[in-house]
Amino acid sequence: MTVYTVERTLPGITTEALAGAQTAAIDAAERSSAEGTPVRYLRSVFMPGDARCLCLFEAPSAEAVRRVNDAAGLPYSAVTEAMDLP
């Protein structure tokens, strides 16, 4: 599967709300996979200085990643194919 980056701007988010957003993304990805569209949440990086968050997902398409984030109720500005270079 392909890796996608989800870009978010989260001004004023608390640590607790950030953890809740991560849980929502994981849960929505698991529901999508259980329903037949495999999506896997990989990890996130939050940059508090500019309130930006980058989340990595593995999925068959950008649209599948958008659906997962919409189902989780999470805002995003872009979903882009990425190369995960650990």
* The pLDDT of residue 86: 81
Secondary structure (DSSP) of 62-75: HHHHHHHHHHHT--
Side-chain-side CA neighbours of 37 within 13 Å: the count stands at 15
pTM for the structure as a whole: 0.94
Three-state secondary structure call for residue 44:
strand
Residue given tokens 């968050």 in the structure block: 53
* The pLDDT of residue 13: 96
pLDDT at 12 over 90: yes
Model pLDDT for residues 21-52, shown as the tens digit of each residue: 999 999 999 999 999 999 999 999 999 999 99
